[in-house]
């Protein structure tokens, strides 16, 4: 069987995260249900990122083995989209080497976080942006972000979970903070891999700097403490998108 990758976008608002779980709606669950309808048996998938409940994706990579060698990549894309719900869409199908493992072999992941920085909320986008009505100093946020670039122990920016024994050392290649039209602030975080809730915790810390509650140097202090209890609260999930994956 040939191994393929689906580049998938989804609105995470009505999902309990990406990873399959019994009795709740997940992105992995609906994709595997669609594959089962197409191939008449369960086809298991592997993804580049296990996004949390309420988190979205523009370029998630979902890898699986195609049981039907006669199907072209266009056939697979069309069959999936015909069987997926309206909040999940396969943008394209690509060929991958046998036994390709996206969790281990992806070269880079890019996350986008969007903040609506206005006095009044936009109720029509409340599930897709973090509305933050207080003034933010972007220059101070950029200065703080520089302390997070490079290879560090990100224990202070991971989800508190004693059962998570993964190595907390991660590498962030770059963080960009961009003022967009419509008073939207984009925080773009590029890295090879991330810990659970790491990007949302980084955004929470940068916002503390933006409001003046923290100095930029406070982020460096928190990072070096390796203590999650010293960090800022997590930014809410709805502003976060798995934007793209470099294979």
Helix H, strand E, coil C: the string for 90-120 is: EEEEEEECCCCCHHHHCCEEEEEEEEECCCC
Decide if 159 contacts 199 (C-beta within 8 A). no
Query: Which residues are known to be catalytic?
Result: 52
Closest CA to 219 of 130, 146, 153, 115: 146
> 241, exposed or middle or buried, with CB in 10 Å at 0-12, 13-18, 19+?
buried
Decide if 36 contacts 105 (C-beta within 8 A). no
Q: What 3-state DSSP class applies to 185?
A: strand
Distance of alpha carbon 221 from alpha carbon 225, whole angstroms = 6
């Amino acid at each position: 069987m040939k191994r393929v990758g689906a580049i998938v976008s989804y609105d995470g608002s009505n999902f309990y995260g990406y990873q399959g779980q019994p009795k709740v709606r997940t992105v992995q669950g609906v994709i595997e249900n669609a594959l089962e309808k197409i191939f008449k048996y369960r086809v298991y998938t592997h993804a580049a990122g296990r996004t949390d409940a309420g988190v979205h994706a523009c370029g998630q990579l979902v890898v699986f083995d195609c049981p039907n060698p006669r199907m072209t990549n266009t056939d697979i894309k069309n069959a999936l989209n015909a069987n997926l719900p309206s909040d999940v869409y396969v943008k394209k199908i690509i060929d991958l080497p046998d036994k390709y493992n996206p969790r281990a072999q992806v070269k880079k992941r890019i996350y986008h976080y969007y903040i609506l920085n206005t006095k009044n909320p936009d109720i029509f986008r409340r599930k897709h942006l973090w509305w933050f009505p207080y003034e933010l100093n972007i220059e101070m946020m950029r200065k703080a972000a520089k302390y997070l670039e490079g290879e560090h122990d990100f224990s202070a920016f991971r989800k508190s979970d004693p059962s998570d024994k993964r190595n907390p050392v991660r590498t962030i290649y770059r963080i960009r903070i961009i003022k967009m039209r419509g008073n939207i602030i984009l925080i773009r975080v590029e890295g090879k891999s991330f810990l659970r809730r790491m990007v949302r915790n980084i955004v929470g810390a940068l916002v503390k700097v933006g409001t003046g509650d923290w100095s930029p140097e406070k982020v460096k202090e928190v990072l070096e403490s390796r203590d999650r209890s010293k960090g800022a609260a997590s930014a809410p999930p709805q502003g976060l998108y798995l934007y793209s994956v470099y294979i």
